[in-house]
């Protein structure tokens, strides 16, 4: 026990921090006692005791280990240090195990043999040790963001959404024809609401204009200012045409059309001046 402390591989303590407890323990096994709270449970303590033998855990003498544990417990007690209950439970179990190992008795019904119990303990120590080593190996691997890095300035995907319209010419024509048709229907049914130029109004207007109508001119020319309002156009044309026919019959106006559906011209009848 006076041998120089074993050096632990760097990988043993992945966080790289030295473990003051263990260093102290290695320097002088007796000082192991000082900080019992530093151990993570009785299994950890047992493993630490076992490791001090520097032997293969698979071939460790369980009896010797039990003795060491019990001696350790005794020392702790003599120093009146606080001990967690599970350390004492382990101590009791180990004491029982030792007695069974030393004085072989046929196991009771359903009870494992002392050898099996010892093997199980050895296995658990081995397994804990294996996990510690694995943890060390794992942590010693090059880690992302520590030793190895992904691209520092990745160029993330840009999503471009393209609108695609599925409207077709048929759709276009349909709505257009529909709208026009609707409008015609509405015009014929809501005619009362439309602003209307009455025939009387048209006649009065023509009579007012007639003095200046010396030359042939179309309705649109003579009635230009009344046609300015789009809603009134049809009505102005229709009413003034009707009124003009009256005035022609009365011999006040003359109408002229060169061919069918051609422009219609009107002027004051020269003799009527």
Partner 1 sequence: MTPHAPAIIVNETMDSDHDDAPDNETSAVVTRHPHAERSHHLRILEAILFAATQPVGLDKLVGHLPANTDVAALLETLRENYANRGVNLVQLAGKYMFRTAEDMGFVLRKETTEQKRLSKAGLETLAIIAYHQPVTRAEIEDIRGVAISKGTLDILLDIGWAKMRGRRKSPGRPVTYGTTEAFMQQFGLNEITDLPGLQELKAAGLLDGNLPPG
Of 135 and 267, CB closest to partner 1: 135
CB of 244 to partner 1, least distance (A): 22
Determine the Cα–Cα distance for residues 163 and 158; give it in Å rounded to an integer: 16
Contacts 24+ apart (CB under 8 A), 21-24: 22/48
Q: How many residues bind partner 1 (CB under 8 A)?
A: 74
Of 58 and 272, CB closest to partner 1: 58
188-227 residues near partner 1, rule: CB under 8 A: none
Q: Are 86 and 40 in contact (CB under 8 A)?
A: no
CB of 262 to partner 1, least distance (A): 16
CB of 215 to partner 1, least distance (A): 26
Determine the Cα–Cα distance for residues 241 and 243; give it in Å rounded to an integer: 5
Find the distance separating the first CA and the last CA of the chain, reported in whole Å: 149
CB of 16 to partner 1, least distance (A): 9
Please report where in the chains the tokens 């019959």 appear, as a residue. 249
76-115 residues near partner 1, rule: CB under 8 A: 86, 112
From residue 223, how far is each of 150, 244, 257, 258, 272 by CA, in Å?
83, 12, 18, 20, 21
Of 2 and 168, CB closest to partner 1: 168
45-74 residues near partner 1, rule: CB under 8 A: 46
Of 165 and 261, CB closest to partner 1: 165
From residue 175, how far is each of 53, 163, 184, 188, 221 by CA, in Å?
95, 22, 14, 20, 35
113-172 residues near partner 1, rule: CB under 8 A: 116-121, 123-124, 126-128, 130-135, 137-139, 141-169, 171-172
Range in contact with partner 1 (rule: CB under 8 A) among 48-56, 177-185, 245-253, 256-264: 177-185
Burial class (CB in 10 A: 0-12, 13-18, 19+), 214: exposed
Of 103 and 169, CB closest to partner 1: 169
CB of 48 to partner 1, least distance (A): 12
Of 170 and 273, CB closest to partner 1: 170
Three-state DSSP state, 3: coil
């Amino acid at each position: 026990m006076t041998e120089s402390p074993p050096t632990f591989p760097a990988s043993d303590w992945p966080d790289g921090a030295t473990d003051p407890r263990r260093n102290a323990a290695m320097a002088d096994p007796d000082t192991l006692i000082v900080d019992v709270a530093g151990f993570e449970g009785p299994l950890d303590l047992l493993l630490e005791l076992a490791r001090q033998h520097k032997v293969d855990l698979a071939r460790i003498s369980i009896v010797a280990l039990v003795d060491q544990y019990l001696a350790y417990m005794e020392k702790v007690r003599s120093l009146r240090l606080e001990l967690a209950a599970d350390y004492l439970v382990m101590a009791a179990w180990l004491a029982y195990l030792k007695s069974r190992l030393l004085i072989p008795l046929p196991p009771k019904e359903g009870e494992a043999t002392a050898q099996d119990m010892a093997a199980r303990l050895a296995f658990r120590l081995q397994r804990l040790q294996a996990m510690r080593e694995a943890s060390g190996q794992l942590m010693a691997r090059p880690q992302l963001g520590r030793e190895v890095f992904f691209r520092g300035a990745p160029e993330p995907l840009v999503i471009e959404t393209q609108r695609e319209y599925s409207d077709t010419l048929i759709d276009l024509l349909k709505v257009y024809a529909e709208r026009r048709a609707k409008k015609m229907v509405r015009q014929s049914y809501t005619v009362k609401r439309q602003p209307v130029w009455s025939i009387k109004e048209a006649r009065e207007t023509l009579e007012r204009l007639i003095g200046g109508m010396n030359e042939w001119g179309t309705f649109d020319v003579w009635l230009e200012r009344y046609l300015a309002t789009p809603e009134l156009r049809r009505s102005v044309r229709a009413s003034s045409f009707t009124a003009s026919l009256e005035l022609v019959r009365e011999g006040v106006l003359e109408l002229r059309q060169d061919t069918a559906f051609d422009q219609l011209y009107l002027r004051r009848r020269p003799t009527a001046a």
